[in-house]
Structure 1
Amino acid sequence: MDDQDLAASSTRAEIFDDLLAAREMLDDVSNDLVEAVWVGGSFVTGVLDPDDIDCTFVINGPAFKALPSNRKRSHVMDFNKRGWLRGKTGLRVESYILIREPVANPFQGGGIHPDAINYVSVRGAWDDWWMRVRTNPDKTSAPVVEDAEPKRGYLEVSWK
Structure 2
Amino acid sequence: MPPLPPLDSSTQCPAPGRYPATWEEVEASLVRAEAFGASSTRPGLWEELGSHRALIECLFGSVRRIWLAGSFVSGKLNPSDVDVAYLLDASVYGTVADPDDLADLANLSDREWCVKHGMRIDAYVLSLPATLRFKDLGVVGAMAAGDSEVFQILGLYDEIWQRTRHTGRRGYLEVAL
Same fold (TM over 0.5): yes
Aligned to 2:138: 107
Aligned to 1:156: 174
Unaligned runs of 5+ in 2: 1-30
Which one of 149, 153, 167 corresponds to residue 118 of structure 1?
149
Contact 2:39/2:78 (8 A) holds in 1: yes
TM-score by length of 2: 0.69
TM-score by length of 1: 0.76
Q: Partners of 1:132 and 1:27 in 2: how far apart?
A: 28
Q: Does 1:37 align with 2:55?
A: no
Call closer, same or farther: CA 1:115–1:96 in 2, change over 3 Å: closer
1:134 aligned partner, one-letter code:
R
SS of equivalent to 1:83: helix
Aligned to 2:123: 95
Aligned to 2:33: 3
Contact 1:82/1:96 (8 A) holds in 2: no
Aligned to 1:50: 79
Unaligned runs of 5+ in 1: 137-146
Q: Partners of 1:51 and 1:31 in 2: how far apart?
A: 28
Q: What does the per-residue CA deviation read over 1:111-138, in whole Å, with 9 as the maximum and x for residues that have no partner?
A: x9873221011111111111112118xx
1:18 aligned partner, one-letter code:
E
SS of equivalent to 1:29: helix
Q: Partners of 1:100 and 1:71 in 2: how far apart?
A: 24
Q: Does 1:86 align with 2:115?
A: yes
2:58 aligned partner, one-letter code:
D
Contact 2:111/2:120 (8 A) holds in 1: no
Contact 2:49/2:121 (8 A) holds in 1: yes
Call closer, same or farther: CA 1:71–1:56 in 2, change over 3 Å: same
How many angstroms does 1:74 deviate by?
4.1
Which one of 44, 53, 58 corresponds to residue 14 of structure 1?
44
1:158 aligned partner, one-letter code:
A
Contact 2:131/2:144 (8 A) holds in 1: no
Please identify, of 49-58 and 59-68, the stretch whose mean Cα deviation from structure 2 is larger: 59-68
